Amino acid sequence: MSGWGMWPVLQVALDHVELKEAVRVAKRISRIGGIWVEAGTPLIKSEGMRAVSRLRKLLPNHFIVADMKTFDAGWVEAEMAVKAGADMVTVLGAAGRETVEDVVEACRRLGAKVCVDLIGVENPAKTARAAEEAGADMILLHVGFTLQRRGMRAPDMLREIRETVEGVGIPVGVAGGIKHGEAGRFAEMGCKIIVVGSAITRASDPADAAKTLLEEIRSPRPL
């Protein structure tokens, strides 16, 4: 699968509510290698699976993530996203093992990957281990928009990140208001996927911003 295993990678989260805006940014970053492109949850809820299909058509050689944040009916939502063109779908760790297993089963059958998002779970390291046992391909430590509005960001999760990276054998990613100058810290800690949204999508030149962040994670500095 194109893009999988070429660590570390930069995942660009397109958290727009209008498809035309997501497409605008996607076109700007389309020539950059070493990045994944995410159809963010707001975009999917606003535009549906046509957002995933549009990104797949626009970026045929990129790894596409559908941030479904599935909580129930895992097999249905996973099938929808993968058939629309997603290489990987997300499911919430808080949904429980049964839902994670449903998503894993559907994605295995269709040749896609599964990311378990640990947003909102009380014990990230424990939930990550359970997700790995259930067949997940990737774990995401995530500070969501709600907590970001209250002043918390990914750099506030360093302890949880260390514990999770050390506790599982599958790739670990991190997301949550990551800015320029911070991305390399997470790569140094062992994170394989660094998810960045507004620092790229709201930049005057999204392509230049993405290139700068990609360089940061490929040349990490010690903490």
pLDDT digits (tens, 9 = 90+) for 131-157: 999 999 999 999 988 888 898 999 899
pLDDT band at 2 (very low <50, low <70, confident <90, very high): low
**Which of 22-31, 49-58, 140-149, 192-201 comes out lowest in average pLDDT?**
140-149
One-letter identity of residue 135: G
Question: Higher confidence at residue 161 or residue 222?
Answer: 161
pLDDT for 221 beyond 80: no
Q: Looking at the whole model, is its pTM more than 0.75?
A: yes
| Nearest to 186, CA basis, from 149, 151, 119, 140 | 140
For a pLDDT cut of 90, what percent of the chain falls above it? 90
Residue with tokens 């391909």: 137
| pLDDT of res. 145 | 85
pLDDT band at 51 (very low <50, low <70, confident <90, very high): very high
Taking every pair of C-alpha atoms in the chain, what is the biggest distance, in angstroms?
Answer: 43
**CA–CA gap between residue 58 and residue 165 (Å, rounded):** 33
Element (H, E) at 43: helix 41-47
What is the token pair recorded at 81? 């996203």
| CATH class of the domain whose range is 9-218 | alpha beta
Q: Coil, helix or strand for 9?
A: strand
